[in-house]
């Protein structure tokens, strides 16, 4: 088996880990508020990644965590987590996953209007078609369509995160980047603690039942492992070959949503999901060989 094939399998496994983590989070969100779960998960992932860095004797590299672009990236990821989990508590798992993958479409618009990058009409057409696909997924007549704003906002912050990633020092260990992210997510979650006492609109924190603590712990383990396996996948294979396999998280989300939550999606929703994926792949194909603004971190 070639390195590209092994990398693709490992990346697909990583996407399964992300989908598994989202499934566990959706179960936990039935019983606890978003902020508390984010604080718990951030603390667990922080401890796991810190232990990993200490075991590899790479803790000396932690000073680079305070790099401003790494911090901006981390808090963009924290905002992504808040918005995505707000949507996950209200929407089907697969719908949240599909809408989150509008991030490449948003990134194209940001590159054009914010960074002055030239975008061909074919890429603009792919962006337009992708958002039409989102309309098929959203089905405005549906009772839950307003909640679709949450994963869409998450996709916006994913675009910001990816933009910041371009400027993160490439010498910074990938686990250290994840450590900073876990800290930011935990702090943002912790900041919601007073809200339960200040407003009835925010649920108060409660002592987590053992089974919920188990769900959050398993989700954290899946994410921590995914941080490691995604780096390993891209070190095995070529990024240009592997990147489309990121979309394998959508089939995982469809299967997990059906098995765990009994979610059923009609032909219109599935068609919209296929359109979003196709537009993202077209953008990727059209963008191959284009120069990056700066080298991405490995």
Q: Which residues fall within 8 angstroms of residue 20, CB to CB, at 6 or more apart?
A: 219, 222, 252, 256
User: 248: domain range?
Assistant: 3-287
pLDDT of residue 141: 46
Tell me if 195 is assigned to some domain: yes
**Per the domain annotation, does 281 fall within a domain?**
yes
Residue 85 belongs to some domain of the structure: yes
Does residue 20 fall inside a structural domain? yes
Domain count, the chain: 1
Could you tell me if residue 296 is inside a domain?
Answer: no
The pLDDT, as a whole number, for residue 294 is 35
**Residue 298 included in any domain:** no
Give 35-57 as a 3 state SS string. HHHHHHHHHHHHHHHHHHHHHCC
pLDDT of residue 81: 92
pLDDT averages per 10-residue partition of the chain, 298 residues: 87 93 94 91 91 76 80 93 92 90 81 74 83 77 70 90 83 82 92 65 77 94 86 80 84 92 86 85 63 35
pLDDT of residue 296: 34
Residue 293 lies in a domain: no
- State the pLDDT at residue 288: 53
Which tokens sit at 2? Answer: 């070639």
Question: What does the pLDDT read at residue 239?
Answer: 72
Contacts of 86 (CB under 8 A, 6+ apart): 34, 147, 150
Whether 292 maps to a domain, the answer reads no
HSE, side-chain direction, 13 A CA sphere, residue 31: 15
Contact 46, 216 (CB under 8 A): no
What is the predicted pLDDT for the residue at 298?
Answer: 31
């Amino acid at each position: 088996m070639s390195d590209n094939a092994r990398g693709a399998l490992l990346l697909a496994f990583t996407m399964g880990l992300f989908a598994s983590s989202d499934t566990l989070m959706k179960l936990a969100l039935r019983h606890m508020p978003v902020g508390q779960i984010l604080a718990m998960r951030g603390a667990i992932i922080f401890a796991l990644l810190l232990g990993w860095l200490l075991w590899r004797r790479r803790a000396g590299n932690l000073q680079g965590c305070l790099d401003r672009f790494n911090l901006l990236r981390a808090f963009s990821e924290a905002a992504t987590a808040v918005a995505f989990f707000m949507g996950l508590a209200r929407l089907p798992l697969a719908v949240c996953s599909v809408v989150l993958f509008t991030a490449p479409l948003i990134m194209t618009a940001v590159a054009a209007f914010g960074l002055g990058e030239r975008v061909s009409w074919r890429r603009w057409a792919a962006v337009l078609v992708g958002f039409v696909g989102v309309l098929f997924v959203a089905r405005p007549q549906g009772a839950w369509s307003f909640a679709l704003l949450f994963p869409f906002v998450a996709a916006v912050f994913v675009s910001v995160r990816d933009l910041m990633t371009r400027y993160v020092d490439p010498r910074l260990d990938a686990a250290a980047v994840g450590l900073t992210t876990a800290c930011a997510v935990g702090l943002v979650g912790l900041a919601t603690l007073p809200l339960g006492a200040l407003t009835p609109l925010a649920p108060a924190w409660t002592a987590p039942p053992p089974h919920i603590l188990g769900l959050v712990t398993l989700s954290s383990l899946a994410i921590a492992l995914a941080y490691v396996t995604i780096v390993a996948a891209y070190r095995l294979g070529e990024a240009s070959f592997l990147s489309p396999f990121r979309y394998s998280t959508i089939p995982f989300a469809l299967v997990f949503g059906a098995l765990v939550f009994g979610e059923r999606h009609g032909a219109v929703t599935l068609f919209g999901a296929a359109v979003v994926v196709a537009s993202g792949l077209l953008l990727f194909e059209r963008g191959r060989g284009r120069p990056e603004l700066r080298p991405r971190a490995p």
